[in-house]
Amino acid sequence: MSLDLFDLSGKRALITGSSQGIGAALARGLAAAGAEIVLNGRDAAKLEVAAEALRESGAVVHALAFDVTDHEAVRKAIDGFEAQTGPIDILVNNAGMQHRGPLEEFEAAAFDRILQTNVASVFHVGQAVARHMIARGAGKIVNICSVQTALARPGIAPYTATKGAVANLTKGMATDWAQYGLQCNGLAPGYFETPLNQALVDDPDFTAWLEKRTPAGRWGKVEELVGTAIFLSSDASSFVNGTTIFVDGGITASL
């Protein structure tokens, strides 16, 4: 049946930055599609709370704490997990951060921090996981991009730069790794109600602007990202490679 293409039973998915927000929602969604889940974050205690909550739904869940910006720590954690537990079939590079401020006043240290968290982490974790996927001749990598992959907004130029870079790194991954049986794609959320966006959600002026600017007329719900994530993680996307799918209520389609 065609629906079998979306079945993730027997697959194991690592989602970085998955103790809350979009990462946690994607973990719940992939688990509901049958995947075994590996949650990741830096705070081991917070991660275990999230893992236990997901286990209560019946999912098989592992908590793997490591800093996605530390290349050696990433390699050690991924190699150790693969050796002790088994293969990671799906990687969702979701870890990210935001820092707002006028570009002319943006601190160099903050710029470097956002580059490391949003871009370098995709390289570090992507490479560590892909080396095992390449050896097996199969794997799915989903890099979380953003509406800012395509658009800019005042006060977040460095974030916009990082998300543009993630989309192009995704193309590079596909170009290098498709020959080994990997599919590497991007998922670009629009404006969603998450802890990262809470200040904007709570700002009535911004929400009024967003509702007018977005054809769908509202904030997105994180659960609305799950269908695309399942598609990009499953056999249904076996010949989809190097592309970025926008899930944004139409905001990038309109002026």
Active site includes 159?
yes
pLDDT tens figures, 47-90: 999 999 999 999 999 999 999 999 999 999 999 999 999 999 99
Q: What percent of the chain has pLDDT over 70?
A: 100
pLDDT tens figures, 163-189: 999 999 999 999 999 999 999 999 999
What are the residue ranges spanned by the domains of the chain?
Answer: 2-246
- The set of residues, in sequence order, having a beta carbon less than 8 Å from that of 63 and lying 6+ positions away, is 38, 39, 40, 44, 47, 48, 50, 51
pLDDT tens figures, 198-242: 889 999 999 999 999 999 999 999 999 999 999 999 999 999 999
Calculate helix-pair angle for 157-177, 108-115, nearest 10 degrees.
Answer: 30
Mean pLDDT of 19-30: 96
Average pLDDT, the chain: 97
pLDDT tens figures, 131-166: 999 999 999 999 999 999 999 999 999 999 999 999
Round to whole Å and give the CA distance between 90 and 193.
25
Residue 121 has pLDDT above 80, yes or no: yes
Quote the pLDDT of residue 250.
98
- The label of the residue with tokens 């982490």 reads 121
Half-sphere exposure of 87 (CA within 13 A, CB side): 15
Quote the pLDDT of residue 206.
95
The hierarchical CATH code for the domain 2-246 is 3.40.50.720
Round to whole Å and give the CA distance between 18 and 7.
21
More confident position, 215 or 1: 215
- The label of the residue with tokens 């602007």 reads 209
Quote the pLDDT of residue 197.
85
Quote the pLDDT of residue 1.
61
Q: What percent of the chain has pLDDT over 90?
A: 95
Task: List the catalytic residue out of 159, 177, 192, 219.
Answer: 159
Residue 196 has pLDDT above 80, yes or no: no
